[in-house]
Copies of this chain bind each other. A is one copy, B any other.
Amino acid sequence: MENHKAAAAAVAYRLLNQTKHKSNKILHQRRLIPNSTQLNPSSSTSGFTQASVPLNQFVASYRWDLRKSSLIHTHHRKFGSVASTIVERNPNFSTINHDDLIYFDKILGAKKVIQDPEELQTANTDWMHKYKGSSKLMLQPENTTELSQILDYCNSRRLAVVPQGGNTGLVGGSVPVFDEIIINTRRMNSVISFDQVSGVLVCEAGCILENLISFLDKKGFIMPLDLGAKGSCQIGGNISTNAGGLRLVRYGSLHGTVLGLEVVLANGSVIDMLGTLRKDNTGYDLKHLFIGSEGSLGIITKVSILTPPKLSSVNIAFLACEDYISCQKLLFQAKRRLGEILSAFEFLDSQAMNLVLHHLDGVRNPLPSSIYNFYVLIETTGSNESNDKATLEAFLLHAMENGLVSDGALAQDFSQASSFWHIREGIPEALQKAGAVYKYDLSLPVEKMYDLVEEMRTRLGAAANVVGYGHLGDGNLHLNVSARQYDDAILAQIEPFVYEWTSQHRGSISAEHGLGLMKAEKIYYSKSSETVSTTYGFSQEIVGP
């Protein structure tokens, strides 16, 4: 206890000292990952953010394959150490012929019909280089009509398609599995309208998240979601995958902020649900089915979303905690004492910190005196600079006095704030550079969350480096197992253990990344069979038998 108090006093000094001598203004925008193409080698193709299951009857038959895989033996691909799944191509799907290409050229024009091997290689490969398709054709429609014509035609010709946005997904949903036609939405990237009074933004699905953030910044608004891949991911993909990200703790999920969608179904029909109203209780709210359905029910073409006003005061603290229980208590206190101004509560363990310090250029530890077991990043966003700062400082002092925080720093300017965020946002990139990585995105009760990381460490021993970080405020753990190279023995230690453990604790095996190819057949770990079969009925109703 005495030690705690001494530490508290030391940190308090640092905080107050900084407060006195430096400006406390922190701009809202954070520094981006230096080169967004590093995050996403295929960013040139842009498009949907994360996973999107292949569209159309392909979905149905893909599931069918899984269920009756012994019946169909054409060709198949094994995902080796990446995923033990064997998926087989459904022979009922056609392959592209010369007439198809002539048709697409006619309706789109040659420049939107991509057959260039280099471009296709990028579009066939996911960001992690884990999932690789063999598509021979990428189409880049410029508007809803073109996209509708494509789907109508593909449906009649039984050509499988996969929708693709920014191709930043982590579960193999944004690239083809076999030779599906890639439908990339990058050319549909216009802002349609913005209402300064209501804050409602209407735009095309292919708008890159960061471009929307910049657009709104000039109007005095922000996007209700933000994530590391913002420089490449597209809003249509964000919504298709129900992306969570860094602001969910404050602004809630996309189910709350998306007001309307326009989508094109697999048969080409356009469903206009593009309302801009905050409230509309006239019948089933169908748009919610498309949020998070990963492109399996249709392709989102237009989006209407409620954006919050940009508030003038943003403060960021980077804190060290001795143990996980302190992180939890800190979260509880933050919700109480920071209340309405809390806008992010992220955590990382020492393993994550070490990776970032080792693999990313120019990163330094804001709390260099020692490596602590846990780090927490807290952001507040409010409209009163001096009040907010005082509130955060009082909270931190209280936390230190109670021994929850061992050390900490408050960002004093834009550059410091960016550097704090860069540590948290840079973890995926650092993991990529460290070698092979097995990524799991789990929702768990906060109090159980880190037990899994520790159990995994015990299971794997020296074979791999187990890293835990994520959105503590939302109960979302990013569990990553980093190894020199992909190895079936390591994978066998991780799966199905990680899914079983999550299921036993009533967690979700995908908090925000989606199912994609990686977890399509793992759905039963998180959903009851009644729900899945009702769901299956729905999808049949929309995409057809």
Contacts and interface: CB of A to CB of B under 8 A. Distances in A.
A403 to B, nearest CB: 19
A285 B381 CA distance: 30
A286 interface: yes
A339 B341 CA distance: 10
A156 interface: no
A338 interface: yes
B283 A532 contact: yes
A253 interface: yes
A282 B506 contact: no
B535 A279 contact: no
Contacts of A269: 530
B198 A475 contact: yes
Contacts of A126: none
B535 A286 contact: yes
B339 A383 contact: yes
A238 to B, nearest CB: 12
Contacts of A257: 252, 256
A280 B538 contact: no
B252 A512 contact: no
Contact of A255 (B256, B339, B522): B256
Contacts of A443: 277-280
B535 A538 contact: no
A540 B539 contact: no
A391 B387 CA distance: 10
A309 interface: yes
A4 interface: no
Contacts of A265: 534
A389 to B, nearest CB: 12
Nearest to A328: B197
Contact of A509 (B282, B297, B309, B338): B282
Q: Within the oligomer, what is the number of copies of this chain? A: 2
**Which of A281, A338, A444, A539 counts the most B-chain CB atoms under 10 A from its CB?**
A281
Contacts of A305: none
A248 interface: yes
Contacts of A541: 534, 537-538, 540-541
B446 A535 contact: no
Nearest to A297: B284
A391 to B, nearest CB: 6
Nearest to A343: B340
A498 to B, nearest CB: 14
A545 B522 CA distance: 31
Contact of A476 (B241, B242, B279, B535): B279
A474 B282 contact: no
Contacts of A282: 508-510, 515, 519, 522-523, 525-527
B526 A280 contact: yes
Contact of A278 (B331, B384, B476, B530): B476
A292 interface: yes
**Which of A340, A381, A540 counts the most B-chain CB atoms under 10 A from its CB?**
A340
Contacts of A336: 220, 309, 383
A291 B284 CA distance: 8
B281 A508 contact: yes
A293 interface: yes
A446 B242 contact: no
A266 to B, nearest CB: 12
Given A197-B332, A198-B475, A289 B284 contact: yes
Contact of A511 (B197, B198, B279, B382): B279
B537 A279 contact: no
A70 interface: no
Interface string A320-349: 000000001001100111111100000000
A528 B269 CA distance: 12
Nearest to A298: B534
Interface in A495-524: 506-515, 519, 522-523
Nearest to A338: B383
A511 to B, nearest CB: 4
20 contacts: A198-B445, A248-B279, A253-B256, A270-B530, A271-B530, A273-B527, A276-B506, A277-B443, A279-B471, A281-B511, A281-B512, A281-B514, A284-B538, A286-B289, A288-B288, A289-B289, A311-B339, A340-B381, A538-B541, A541-B541
Given A248-B279, A253-B278, 7 more contacts: A255-B256, A277-B443, A281-B513, A281-B514, A284-B289, A336-B383, A339-B382
Closest 4 CB pairs of A and B: A256-B256, A288-B288, A339-B383, A280-B508
